[in-house]
Amino acid sequence: MHVCILGAGIAGLATAWQLHRAGFEVTVIDRAGAGAGASGANGAQLSYAYVQPLADPSLWRHLPKLLFAKASPFHLRLQLDPQQWAWGLQFLAACRSSVSRETTVQLLALAARSRIAFERLLSEERLDCDFSSTGKLVLYGDTPSFGAARRQMALQRGLGSVQHAVTASECAAIEPALARHVPHIAGAIHTPGECAADCFKVCQELQRLLVAGGVQFLFNTEVTAMEQRAGRAVATHTSHGPVYADAFVAALGSASGGFGRRLGLDLPVYPLKGYSITLPVASDWGAAPRVNVTDAARKMVFARIGSRLRVAGMAELVGHNTAIAPDRIDALVQATREIFPQCGDLDAPVPWAGLRPATPTGRPILGRRPGTPENLLFNTGHGALGFTLAFGSAVHILELLQAARPLTISAAGPVSCSA
């Protein structure tokens, strides 16, 4: 069976890997190259236990500050874009305890499958991807937000996550590079089993393995349309002509919404823009963290990837615009200076911006959507957790393709996520 995968981000490549491994013939198409989209320089965190969705009831309390404070990590630029308005309203509607809880349950189950699948890949192949398993600290600067975090922790622990609430001085014992920041920490959640890796390198390594295994890659090739016959997709039309296959997996990241609209489908995926900086860490400076750290108030993550520190954050609802705003990069540099002074060379950070493919609830869209060809599956909408969830999502797509039954998803299933 020949499967054509649209999109060579981490979602598409992880899917290509699982399908190739299971004996499918695979072709991957991308308008640029492997890891050219949101998978390029993301926060690098494999956040298997800490999956709290952005759509959370606590957002209502912080909304005025998030919308209007100058240093807010969130930014909204209202546009004449019905998709932006519809997404925003659906997002606000999803900020309820029941939705947030159900999303947490589904994402934890998917993350657990992801961890198993990625660790199997790491054990089978030598991947040069700066993988580490040093755990994660999520820092809270005030008592109310730490209290809310402890409640989310209780929920996650009840679902099997290994997490502990720790004091500021315990934080410094776990991660000595935080020593000077202790007075600003009200408490933290420690997840000892969390991991990190360079997502772009994982993409490159997957491409290398797949090419060696005979998988065909069509890069610099834009997907423009799907050709359908009798309820089935027979080909995808591209800037370089049609590509025929037995089944198709659309893993187009933040471009998924536009792709869906061309099929007459309202796919609730909207870009949530974020930024990162990457800086070299000099080994003798010793002031750079080895443990992954999240500053909850600033919504910034710090991850050590080999001899580099990746700092990522911000959430902007500004359409499909990937321009790098200097003030956002300055904010990342400033926060790094405050939390980890002297951690590395902050004078020449490598800046980056990317678009998270976000659904209102934070649940990805996996599998077939009603009204579309029965042999077209979606693997998209992973939002802020696409690297973490990619391999579990890929296994789910593999299972759907392997099943002889109709390709449908069940909202009740543990990994059958839908937005």
Ligand X SMILES: Cc1cc2nc3c(=O)[nH]c(=O)nc-3n(C[C@H](O)[C@H](O)[C@H](O)COP(=O)(O)OP(=O)(O)OC[C@H]3O[C@@H](n4cnc5c(N)ncnc54)[C@H](O)[C@@H]3O)c2cc1C
Q: Which spans of this chain sit near ligand X (rule: CB under 6 A)? A: 7-12, 29-32, 36-39, 42-45, 47, 222-223, 251-255, 274-276, 301, 312, 354, 356-357, 380, 382-388
List the one residue out of 271, 410, 404, 379 whose CA is nearest residue 14. Answer: 379
- Least distance from C-beta 34 to ligand X, angstroms? 7
- Least distance from C-beta 184 to ligand X, angstroms? 22
Q: Nearer Cβ to ligand X, position 143 or 224?
A: 224
Q: Nearer Cβ to ligand X, position 230 or 323?
A: 323
Q: Nearer Cβ to ligand X, position 117 or 186?
A: 117
**Assigned token pair, 255:** 């471009």
- The span from the CA of 377 to the CA of 6, in Å, is 10
Cα–Cα separations (whole angstroms), residue 284 to 128, 171, 312: 23, 22, 24
CB count in 10 Å sphere of residue 42? 26
Q: Nearer Cβ to ligand X, position 112 or 186?
A: 112
- Least distance from C-beta 183 to ligand X, angstroms? 27
- The span from the CA of 371 to the CA of 262, in Å, is 12
- Least distance from C-beta 291 to ligand X, angstroms? 14
- The span from the CA of 268 to the CA of 90, in Å, is 9
- The span from the CA of 343 to the CA of 285, in Å, is 7
List the one residue out of 315, 293, 101, 288 whose CA is nearest residue 189. Answer: 293
Identify any residues that bridge with 151 across adjacent strands, giving them in sequence order.
none
Q: Nearer Cβ to ligand X, position 361 or 380?
A: 380
- Least distance from C-beta 57 to ligand X, angstroms? 23
Q: Nearer Cβ to ligand X, position 251 or 419?
A: 251
Q: Nearer Cβ to ligand X, position 186 or 356?
A: 356
- Least distance from C-beta 28 to ligand X, angstroms? 10
Q: Nearer Cβ to ligand X, position 110 or 385?
A: 385
Q: Nearer Cβ to ligand X, position 356 or 368?
A: 356
- The span from the CA of 182 to the CA of 169, in Å, is 6
Q: ∠227-5-201 over CA atoms, to 5°?
A: 150
- The span from the CA of 111 to the CA of 50, in Å, is 9
- Least distance from C-beta 167 to ligand X, angstroms? 25
Q: In the chain, what are the helix, strand and coil shares in percent, each to the nearest 5?
A: 35, 25, 40
- Least distance from C-beta 405 to ligand X, angstroms? 26
- Least distance from C-beta 64 to ligand X, angstroms? 24
- Least distance from C-beta 143 to ligand X, angstroms? 27
Q: Three-state secondary structure along 32-88?
A: CCCCCCCCCCCCCEECCCCCCCCCCCHHHHHHHHHHHCCCCCEEECCCCCHHHHHHH
Residue 339: CB partners within 8 Å, gap ≥ 6?
178, 181, 293, 295, 302
- The span from the CA of 411 to the CA of 392, in Å, is 17
Q: Nearer Cβ to ligand X, position 61 or 77?
A: 77
